[in-house]
């Protein structure tokens, strides 16, 4: 699924639509260059599920947890991850339990350690704005994309 987005409001709306289609447990991996809008999409997602307050990229802490209506959401930013094994020390596998939603920026920094993404989001900067591609990587992701409305 490909979408052309004009501005950050459209990127947030795309994140909100993704949240609306999201089952209880899902891993979404976000790819794109610096400034492409990965955090903006995540912000739209988290706002749509009811997160209030500041939502910023956890560049230095690696993960920011959010609990909303009995559900767990984890926003990862692996940009500054120097050694993928550090994820193991962080207890990364515990975040992937059956009830959580994991939104992971810069997943390529942990290549080989992450399981397949349910949804891969690829963001490309274009002269007109952003091009966003959503692709399913699992059966769970296929189901999510079938209910995605944007």
Range of the domain at 19: 2-147
What's the domain count of the chain?
1
* Stated pTM of the model: 0.93
Q: pLDDT by residue (tens digit) across 114-139?
A: 889 999 999 999 999 999 999 999 99
Q: pLDDT by residue (tens digit) across 3-61?
A: 999 999 999 999 999 999 998 889 999 999 999 999 999 999 999 999 998 888 887 78
Q: How far is CA 57 from CA 63, 72, 116, 128, 131, in A?
A: 8, 17, 22, 24, 21
Torsion on CA atoms 1, 123, 26, 68, rounded to nearest 10:
-120
CATH code at position 70: 3.40.50.300
Cβ–Cβ < 8 Å for 137, 117: yes
């Amino acid at each position: 699924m490909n979408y052309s987005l004009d501005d950050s409001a459209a990127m947030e709306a795309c994140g909100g639509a993704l949240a609306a289609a999201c089952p209880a447990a899902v891993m979404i991996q976000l790819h794109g260059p610096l400034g492409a809008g990965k955090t903006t999409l995540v912000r739209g997602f988290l706002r749509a599920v009811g997160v209030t307050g500041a939502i910023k990229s956890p560049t230095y802490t690696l993960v920011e947890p959010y609990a909303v209506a009995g559900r767990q959401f984890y926003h990862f930013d692996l940009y500054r991850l120097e050694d993928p094994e550090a994820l193991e020390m962080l207890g990364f596998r515990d975040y992937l339990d059956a009830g959580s939603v994991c939104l992971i920026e810069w997943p390529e920094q942990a290549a080989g350690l992450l399981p397949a993404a349910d949804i891969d989001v690829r963001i490309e900067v274009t002269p007109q704005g952003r091009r966003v591609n959503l692709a399913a990587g699992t059966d769970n992701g296929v189901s999510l994309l079938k209910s995605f409305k944007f």
